[in-house]
């Protein structure tokens, strides 16, 4: 077992991209330990979302390894990674718009139909808005409500690790703050979270650790709040 | 006035019969994202499978419908797995063209086995029911009720069963469905079985109204396609709405134009819908 003791997710030297020749990730590495919130920040085109998609199995790694709980999942497809315990909430088209909130939750627990009812009830209790809107079509929800639903859908399979791709994109500042609160609450319940965020400062402030990605390579890493106050990071990425 | 009412009744009857294969066509499109024109052959195969069950084996029509559903569903899955599936990576247009070729092959296999002559089901002869000046054939009424029951069953399946919801999820967003642990390839097989099976049942219902021959499905292909386009490709409620609209439009058109122009109504309907509302009545995306 080459994964460091205690690591939940280990990404080591991953190379990946979309076209035959195009490489977005050029040897990216990161780790997530149990209980952590880890943020990936970086300029546009750095490969942040591609990294999450590669971990989720939507983009196949050409080189490097991805290990979850010590097991090599590099060659698993998205279905295999979902079964292995990786929950991924995409940035866009992350709910089934033509289905109701209740159906979205139910279908997200497709792998374990016997547990769907109890898990959905837990999520209704955690997010009362979903209970109120359970019969509404997902496409009728506001941006913030939709992100909560998408996150709740990511929880229906009881993942070992939740990946969030720009969860606050397109949200109002108030809705974004509420979503960050929801992410922290979720993590306090014991769920490790790896997220990519454009609102880098806010994300780093709630993160245990952060990685800075530039042109598909690791640039910096460190404790989240420390990175958030690092003058160079602020100047480079946050305009501060 | 009674002529108009009769045309409306006939239109609803025709539309309901078209709706069944149109649901099959739309379900396949929703999940696999290509128009499968081999449904014409599936309708024919269903009609002949039911004929064999009804006339050769002496089974009643409801049992023959089940045979048609199972046989056509099986043929649909095998045809997809052995021919169309490998072309999917080349885009919807290529698969659609290949499905036309598949249709010709299947249609001629039916022709080879059963010959070209017209065949009829073993049905009791009954007089039309009269309501004043209006007439309704008992067989038409039975077919209408069967079609409504089949549509209701399909809606209940899609709304309340795990696989039905998974089908809708894959149709809505296949990438997200995959992330949720749903295998789109398995759902595609279930959808093909259901879609082809329903089309086969539609072929029987159409055959019950008249007679069957190897071109039974081909004759209604345009109407089925037009119904699906009118309703919004991939929308199952849309396919039903589109079929009813088309059925009524065809029958009303017969009041003012000769019967030979009946199929022209389908072309005009497609043209108007694609011009003014490309996503159809209930479609989510541009058709």
> Is A113 within 8 Å of B175 when comparing Cβ atoms?
no
pLDDT value of position A239: 57
pLDDT value of position A3: 42
- Is residue B94 scored above 70 in pLDDT? yes
* Residue B252 included in any domain: yes
Nearest CA of chain A to the CA of B274: how many Å?
Answer: 22
- Reported as half-sphere exposure (CB side, CA atoms, 13 A), residue B118 has a value of 5
Q: Residue B258's pLDDT band (boundaries 50, 70, 90)?
A: confident
Query: Which member of B162, B172, B183 has the closest CB to residue A96?
Result: B172
pLDDT value of position B284: 61
Nearest CA of chain A to the CA of B165: how many Å?
Answer: 7
Nearest CA of chain A to the CA of B160: how many Å?
Answer: 10
Q: Phi then psi for B114, rounded to 5 degrees?
A: -105, -10
pLDDT value of position B126: 75
Q: For A97-143, what is each residue's pLDDT tens digit? A: 999 999 999 999 988 889 999 999 999 999 999 999 999 999 999 98
Mean pLDDT computed over A81-104:
92
Q: Phi then psi for A211, rounded to 5 degrees?
A: -120, 140
Q: Give percent above pLDDT 90 in chain B.
A: 54
Q: For A40-74, what is each residue's pLDDT tens digit? A: 998 888 899 999 999 999 999 999 999 999 899 99
> Does the structure's ipTM exceed the value 0.85?
no
Domain boundaries, given as residue ranges, for chain A: 9-238
Q: For A167-182, what is each residue's pLDDT tens digit? A: 988 888 888 888 899 9
Instruction: Yes or no: say if B96 and B38 are a contact pair by the CB < 8 Å rule.
Output: no
- Chain B residues within 8 A of A111 when measuring between CB atoms: 180-181
- Is residue A2 scored above 50 in pLDDT? no
pTM for the model stands at 0.83
* Residue B125 included in any domain: no
Domain count, chain B: 1
Q: For A18-34, what is each residue's pLDDT tens digit? A: 877 678 999 999 999 99
> Is A90 within 8 Å of B183 when comparing Cβ atoms?
no
* Residue B200 included in any domain: yes
Give Rg (Cα) of chain B.
18
Q: For B237-246, what is each residue's pLDDT tens digit? A: 889 999 999 9
Rounded to whole angstroms, the Cα distance separating A121 from B215 reads 53
According to DSSP, the β-strands at A209-214 and A37-41 are parallel
Q: For B23-53, what is each residue's pLDDT tens digit? A: 999 999 999 999 999 999 999 999 999 999 9
* Residue B235 included in any domain: yes
Query: Which member of A77, A94, A157 has the closest CB to residue B176?
Result: A94
> Is A113 within 8 Å of B172 when comparing Cβ atoms?
no
- Chain B residues within 8 A of A108 when measuring between CB atoms: 180
Question: Residue B101 is part of a domain; what is its CATH number?
Answer: 1.10.3470
Q: Residue A237's pLDDT band (boundaries 50, 70, 90)?
A: low
Which residues on adjacent β-strands are paired with residue A222?
A210
Domain span at B264: 2-115+134-276
Residue to mutate among A80, A86, A104, A107, with most B CBs inside 10 A, is A107
Query: Which member of B168, B169, B178 has the closest CB to residue A78?
Result: B178
Query: Which member of B169, B178, B183 has the closest CB to residue A96?
Result: B169
Q: What tokens does A128 get?
A: 């009362």
A9-238: CATH superfamily: P-loop containing nucleotide triphosphate hydrolases (3.40.50.300)
Rounded to whole angstroms, the Cα distance separating B144 from B139 reads 8
């Amino acid at each position: 077992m080459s994964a460091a003791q205690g690591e939940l997710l280990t990404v080591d030297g991953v190379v990946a991209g979309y076209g035959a020749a195009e490489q977005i990730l050029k040897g990216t590495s990161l780790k997530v330990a149990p209980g952590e919130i880890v943020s990936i920040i970086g300029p546009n085109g750095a490969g942040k979302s591609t990294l999450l998609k590669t971990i989720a199995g939507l983009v196949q790694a050409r080189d490097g390894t991805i290990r979850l709980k010590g097991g090599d999942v590099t060659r698993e497809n998205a279905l295999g990674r979902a079964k292995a315990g990786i929950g991924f909430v995409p940035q866009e088209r992350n709910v089934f718009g033509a289905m109701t909130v209740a159906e979205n939750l139910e279908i997200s627990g497709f792998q374990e139909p016997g547990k769907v009812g109890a898990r959905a009830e837990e999520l209704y209790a955690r997010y009362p808005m979903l209970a109120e809107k359970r019969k509404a079509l997902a496409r009728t929800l506001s941006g913030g409500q939709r992100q909560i639903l998408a996150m709740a859908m990511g929880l229906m399979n009881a993942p070992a690790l939740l990946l969030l791709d720009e969860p606050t994109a397109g949200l109002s500042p108030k809705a974004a703050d509420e979503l960050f609160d929801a992410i922290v609450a979720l993590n306090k319940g014991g769920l490790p979270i790896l997220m990519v965020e454009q609102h880098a400062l806010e994300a780093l402030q709630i993160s245990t650790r952060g990685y800075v990605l530039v042109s598909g390579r690791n640039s910096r890493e460190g404790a989240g709040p420390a990175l958030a106050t690092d003058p160079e990071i602020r100047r480079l990425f946050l305009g501060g | 006035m009674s002529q108009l009412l009769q045309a409306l009744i006939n239109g609803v009857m025709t539309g309901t019969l078209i709706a069944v294969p149109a649901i099959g066509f739309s379900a396949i499109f929703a999940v696999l994202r290509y128009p499968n024109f081999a449904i014409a052959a599936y309708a024919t195969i269903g009609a002949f499978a039911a004929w064999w069950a009804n006339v050769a084996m002496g089974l009643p029509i409801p049992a023959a419908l089940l045979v048609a559903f199972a046989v056509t569903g099986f043929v649909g899955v095998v045809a997809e797995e052995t021919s169309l599936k490998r072309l999917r990576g080349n885009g919807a247009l290529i698969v659609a063209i290949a499905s036309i070729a598949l249709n010709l092959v299947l249609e001629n296999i039916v022709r080879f086995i059963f010959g070209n002559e017209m065949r009829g089901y073993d049905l009791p002869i009954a007089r039309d029911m009269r309501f004043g000046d209006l007439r309704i054939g008992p067989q038409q009424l039975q077919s209408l009720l069967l079609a409504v029951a089949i549509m209701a069953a399909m809606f209940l399946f899609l709304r309340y069963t795990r696989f039905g919801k998974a089908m809708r999820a894959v149709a809505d967003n296949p990438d997200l469905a995959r992330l949720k642990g749903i295998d789109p390839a398995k759902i595609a097989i279930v959808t093909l079985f259901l879609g082809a099976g329903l089309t086969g049942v539609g072929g029987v219902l159409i055959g019950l109204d008249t007679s069957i021959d190897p071109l039974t499905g081909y004759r209604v292909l345009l109407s089925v396609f037009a119904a699906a386009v009118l309703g919004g490709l991939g929308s199952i409620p849309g396919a039903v709405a589109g079929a009813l609209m088309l059925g009524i439009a065809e029958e009303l058109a017969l009041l003012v134009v000769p019967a030979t122009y009946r199929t022209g109504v389908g072309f005009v309907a497609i043209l108007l819908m694609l011009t003014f509302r490309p996503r159809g009545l209930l479609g989510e995306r541009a058709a």
